[in-house]
């Protein structure tokens, strides 16, 4: 283990933790947005340095391997671009009086604690520490969802807290059961919670106990993933919280819980006599996809619309990983990355649209490409991408998911394609009214952050045209690890 490599891993954790303490104490609230962006950039650079430095050996508490580095880099990149978007968005909220100076300091401090919690969850080698990190990230987002202090925002935060607590309690029980299964083989103490030790010895664990543990873990962390019927917190949290938090929830926090599920899926796969995780994940994935696709038609709030779109796409991703195999896992990884980039870009656009129009009601927003072309066309490209139209990256990942399903279980492709088509129709139906026609709603200019929006969309477009060979090889390697 090289010192520089250890420093990179430490920086991923210590930079956001230190920045949070600094932001909470800063007297000049106008500088907090700048410090937030700088801290997020430094964390991203530390994550990228893991590609060019020797990785540390797994320890009792921390690990960097081929699986989690995908999540770490994606997390820090979207965390950085969201902090840039957040700077202009929050400044507008301050000007309009929706947020006060103390709220601003609190918001930016919580943002960095949230990034610390998510990064810690990804690099945790201890399954108990990973549970604590997921809970920390959840609690900080709960506080941020309720930051406007309106009745609706507080109700959404409370609902998120209650349902999230139920989910995390189920995940805790599942974690305890894994420890109980490992203890007779590994022995007492922290070794029975170290993932790199567990994966080596999993074949000798009690398969019945391990199977029951995975069911609790899938339900518990599945609540955080936003899988139906455990999704009820997600639409309210998106609709009532600040839009940067909507971008982080859809683009990042759902991935954190998904990562935890994948770690335990590997553990279960290493035990030949344990229950197969695939059918459970396929069932929950398809249920989420089809349920969310129909619910898209009933949304009247623009942020709730894209919240249900997140439920739909997390269903696709969980379905792909449940199918397993090199192609489906590759498709799941690619879809996860494309969804994070696209959905966060959509929320960047939606946040500013809600500010200029003064409403989130879909019926009161019309003709965006004429009244605010920069925002309107960003929304058009984002919706076209998330709907799965070529040549954007999500078309490629969805095509691979459908292809792998047709090749292995053709009958499963019927509900999969059915759900995709239903969602496609709903999104294009909504887009027509929002983007085109006679403008309706406010026409005030806004200082929008176009760079984060269009940089994400450019990456999604480029991925649909061409994936660099090193990136393909990397994803293929990780897909092989996932089994």
**Residue 131's pLDDT band (cuts 50, 70, 90):** very high
- pLDDT value, residue 214: 93
Residue in 78, 103, 175 with CA at minimum distance from that of residue 133: 175
pLDDT attached to residue 449? 77
Average pLDDT value for the chain: 89
The 3 state secondary structure assigned to 434-476 is HHCCCCECCCCCCCCCHHHHHHHHHHHHHHHHCCCHHHHHHHH
Under the banding of pLDDT at 50, 70 and 90, the label for residue 250 is confident
b/e per residue 276-311 (b: at least 16 CB within 10 A): ebbebbbebbbbbbbbbbebbeebebbbbbbbbbbb
Q: What is the mean pLDDT of residues 385-408?
A: 92
pLDDT of res. 2: 40
Give yes or no for residue 4 having a pLDDT over 50. Answer: no
Highest mean pLDDT out of 129-133, 235-239, 273-277: 129-133
Cis peptide before 229 (omega within 30 of 0): yes
SS percent in the chain: helix, strand, coil, step 5: 80, 0, 20
| Alpha-carbon span 346 to 383, nearest angstrom | 7
Instruction: Say which residue, 176 or 59, is predicted with more confidence.
Output: 176
Mean predicted confidence (pLDDT) in 132-159: 91
- Find the helix packing angle between 207-225 and 254-269, rounded to 10°: 170
Residue in the block written with tokens 């066309």: 377
**Can you give the pLDDT at residue 438?**
78
What pLDDT is attached to residue 3? 40
| pLDDT value of residue 274 | 82
Nearest to 252 by CA among 121, 388, 156: 121
Number of CB atoms found within 10 A of residue 38's CB: 14
What pLDDT digit, counting tens, does each position of 145-154 carry? 988 888 988 9
- Per-residue pLDDT of 343-383, as tens digits, reads 999 999 999 898 888 888 888 888 888 888 888 899 999 99
Phi, psi of 447 (to 5 degrees): -80, 85
d(CA 389, CA 446): 30
Q: What is the DSSP string of 120-171?
A: HHHHB-BHHHHHHHHHHHHHHHHHHHTTT--HHHHHHHHHHHHHHHHHHHHH
Residue 403 has pLDDT above 80, yes or no: yes
Burial class (CB in 10 A: 0-12, 13-18, 19+), 469: exposed
pLDDT at 85 over 70: yes
Band of pLDDT at residue 18, cut at 50, 70 and 90: very high
Mean pLDDT (whole number) for 150-178: 92
Distance CA 114, CA 334 (A): 24
Structure tokens at 298: 């009933």
Instruction: Using DSSP, state whether 118 is helix, strand or coil.
Output: helix
Residue found by looking up tokens 């397993």 in the block: 324
Is residue 441 predicted with pLDDT exceeding 70?
no
Average pLDDT over residues 312-328: 93
User: For position 444, what pLDDT does the model report?
Assistant: 65
Distance CA 2, CA 63 (A): 14
Once rounded to an integer, what is the mean pLDDT over residues 70-82? 93
Please give the average per-residue pLDDT across 12-36, as a whole number: 89
Banded model confidence at residue 203, pLDDT cuts 50, 70, 90: confident
Could you tell me where the DSSP H helices lie in 202-276?
A: 207-225, 233-240, 243-248, 254-269
């Amino acid at each position: 283990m090289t010192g520089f490599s250890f420093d990179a891993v430490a920086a991923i954790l210590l930079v956001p933790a230190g920045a949070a303490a600094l932001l909470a104490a800063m007297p000049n609230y106008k500088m907090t947005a700048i410090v937030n962006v700088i801290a997020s950039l430094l964390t991203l650079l530390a994550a990228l340095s893991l590609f060019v430095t020797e990785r540390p050996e797994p320890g009792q508490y921390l690990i960097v391997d081929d699986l989690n580095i995908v999540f770490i880099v994606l997390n820090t990149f979207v965390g950085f671009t969201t902090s840039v978007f957040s700077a202009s968005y929050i400044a507008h909220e301050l000007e309009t009086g929706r947020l006060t100076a103390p709220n601003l300091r609190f918001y930016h401090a919580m943002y960095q604690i949230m990034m610390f919690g998510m990064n810690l969850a990804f690099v945790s080698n201890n399954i108990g520490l990973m549970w604590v990190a997921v809970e920390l990230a959840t609690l900080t987002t709960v506080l941020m969802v309720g930051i406007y202090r309106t009745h609706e925002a507080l109700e959404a935060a409370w609902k998120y807290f209650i349902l999230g607590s139920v989910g995390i309690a189920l995940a805790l029980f599942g974690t305890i059961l894994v420890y109980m299964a490992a203890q007779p083989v590994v022995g007492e103490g922290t070794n029975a919670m170290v993932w790199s030790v567990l994966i080596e010895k999993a074949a000798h664990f009690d398969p019945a106990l391990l199977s029951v543990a995975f069911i609790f873990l899938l339900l518990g962390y599945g609540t955080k993933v936003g899988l139906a019927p455990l999704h009820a917190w997600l639409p309210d949290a998106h609709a009532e919280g600040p839009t940067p938090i909507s971008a982080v929830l859809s683009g990042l926090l759902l991935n954190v819980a998904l990562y935890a599920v994948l770690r335990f899926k590997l553990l279960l796969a290493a035990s030949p006599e344990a229950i197969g995780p695939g059918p459970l994940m396929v069932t929950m994935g398809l249920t989420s996809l089809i349920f969310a696709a129909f619910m898209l038609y009933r949304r009247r709030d623009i942020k709730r619309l894209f919240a249900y779109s997140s439920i739909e796409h997390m269903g696709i991703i969980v379905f792909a990983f449940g199918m397993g195999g090199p192609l489906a896992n590759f498709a799941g990884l690619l879809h996860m990355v494309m969804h994070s980039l696209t959905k966060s870009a959509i929320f960047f656009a939606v946040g500013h649209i809600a500010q200029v129009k003064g409403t989130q009601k879909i019926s009161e927003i019309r003709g965006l490409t004429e009244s605010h072309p920069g925002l309107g066309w960003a929304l058009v490209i984002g919706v076209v991408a998330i709907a799965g139209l070529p040549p954007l990256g999500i078309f490629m990942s969805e095509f691979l998911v459908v292809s792998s399903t047709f090749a292995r279980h053709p009958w499963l492709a019927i509900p999969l394609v059915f759900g995709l088509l239903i969602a496609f129709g709903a999104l294009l139906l909504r887009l027509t009214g929002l983007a085109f026609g006679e403008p309706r709603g406010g026409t005030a200019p806004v200082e929008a952050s176009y760079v984060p929006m269009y940089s994400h969309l450019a990456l999604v477009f480029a991925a649909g045209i061409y994936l660099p060979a090193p990136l393909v090889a990397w994803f293929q390697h990780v897909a092989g690890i996932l089994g």
